[in-house]
Amino acid sequence: MRTVDMSDAAWAPLLAMRDGVAASDDNPAMALYGRIAGARGSFVLAQVGQSLDGRIATAAGDAKDISGPDGLAHLHRCRALVDAVIVGLNTVKADNPRLSVRLVDGPSPVRVVIDCHGGLEGSEGLFHDGGTPVIVIESTAAAERALPNATILRLPLSENGLATAAIVSALADRGLSRLLVEGGSRTIARFIEEGQVDRLHVAISPLIIGAGPSGINLPPIARLADALRPPADVYSLGSDILFDCALSGRQGE
Ligand SMILES: NC(=O)c1ccc[n+]([C@@H]2O[C@H](COP(=O)([O-])OP(=O)(O)OC[C@H]3O[C@@H](n4cnc5c(N)ncnc54)[C@H](OP(=O)(O)O)[C@@H]3O)[C@@H](O)[C@H]2O)c1
């Protein structure tokens, strides 16, 4: 396990790398974040912050502060290195997130909400906080409407909701090619199921919640032989341990 010891001197070349400046330091921070900052073409990172027992919230829905301080800083670094962050409707409803970069230096990403059937009301915080642009992705079958301070992108329904490949492609058409899928568990699962995730980050914080939703909600399998077993690099972030997993879905596209 390698230890990520982030300093301004290590972070600055990573931020520059997202703008095309080459960097070649051989340290754990570069190994972990250089993959994101240096990605060219469409690149999809999914990240989950979970407890030791794999939960992302209590059964009552309290999801605040599952990650420790270094896990949270990691999430903000990931946000700073991508063009857009994607969440599902339930995450906006449950957490009212700002999805901005506050714990590290760096730009905040464009915010994208998947709202297939038009469940957002327009009163949610991210439409009114003066932050980065908001894109709401709906199905063409949903009733047409406007939302405050947001662009609505309408995509055709596939047999399983909105095809995640179509979402990645529509965002790439708008210059948003490095994507962070931040949750919740259904949204991440759909990107994984459809082979649209390049790297999966699972940050584990040493707390036990006991019950509540899990971080990734895939259809059940009967045999462990059928489980996904991605190659993973393991990092100590400090307060949290990070598994940086290579998912094969989009490799070579
Ligand atoms: N700790 C963390 O890292 C973290 C991060 C974010 C959120 N959370 C927590 O996650 C929980 C919410 O997770 P969740 O799984 O209930 O909700 P979610 O993933 O935020 O949103 C799920 C909703 O979006 C829809 N959706 C997502 N992708 C879609 C697609 N490609 N096409 C059509 N519909 C799509 C889902 O439809 P279907 O049901 O049909 O799939 C469902 O209605 C909250 O408790 C939040 O606090 C934790």
| Binding site membership of 85 for ligand 1 (Cβ less than 6 Å) | no
In a domain, 136, yes or no: yes
| Binding site membership of 205 for ligand 1 (Cβ less than 6 Å) | no
Confidence of residue 134 (pLDDT cuts 50, 70, 90): very high
| Binding site membership of 82 for ligand 1 (Cβ less than 6 Å) | no
pLDDT at position 249 is 61
In a domain, 253, yes or no: no
In a domain, 251, yes or no: no
The pTM score is 0.95
Confidence of residue 250 (pLDDT cuts 50, 70, 90): low
| Binding site membership of 61 for ligand 1 (Cβ less than 6 Å) | yes
pLDDT per residue as tens digits for the range 67-87: 999 999 999 999 999 999 999
pLDDT at position 138 is 97
pLDDT at position 252 is 46
Atom of ligand 1 nearest to the CA of 119: 43
- Spatial neighbors of 114 by CB under 8 A, at least 6 apart, are 86, 87, 88, 89, 137, 162, 167, 187
Tell me, what CATH number does 82's domain have?
A: 3.40.430.10
pLDDT at position 64 is 87
Average confidence (pLDDT) over 131-146: 95
Average confidence (pLDDT) over 136-160: 94
pLDDT at position 21 is 85
Q: For residues 222, 228, 232 and 235, what is the CA-based torsion angle, rounded to 10 degrees?
A: -60
Distance CA 116, CA 23 (A): 40
Please give the residue that has the higher pLDDT: either 22 or 38: 38
Pocket test for ligand 1, best of 187, 200, 204, 218 (most atoms within 8 A of CB): 187
In a domain, 221, yes or no: no
In a domain, 236, yes or no: yes
Confidence of residue 160 (pLDDT cuts 50, 70, 90): confident
Query: Cis ω on the peptide bond leading into residue 183 (within 30° of 0)?
Result: no
Q: At what angle do helices 28-37 and 8-17 cross, to 10 degrees?
A: 20
pLDDT at position 70 is 97
In a domain, 193, yes or no: yes
Mean pLDDT over the full length of the chain = 94
Residue whose pair of structure tokens reads 């998947």 in the numeric block: 114
Average confidence (pLDDT) over 113-117: 97
In a domain, 33, yes or no: yes
Per DSSP (E only), the strands in 12-91 are 43-51, 84-88
C-alpha 189 – ligand 1 centre gap (Å) = 9
Report how many domains make up the chain: 1
pLDDT per residue as tens digits for the range 182-202: 989 999 999 999 999 999 999
Domain, as residue range, for 198: 2-215+227-246
Percent of the chain scored above 70 by pLDDT?
98
pLDDT at position 4 is 92
Percent of the chain scored above 90 by pLDDT?
86
In a domain, 175, yes or no: yes
pLDDT at position 25 is 73
Distance CA 152, CA 113 (A): 10
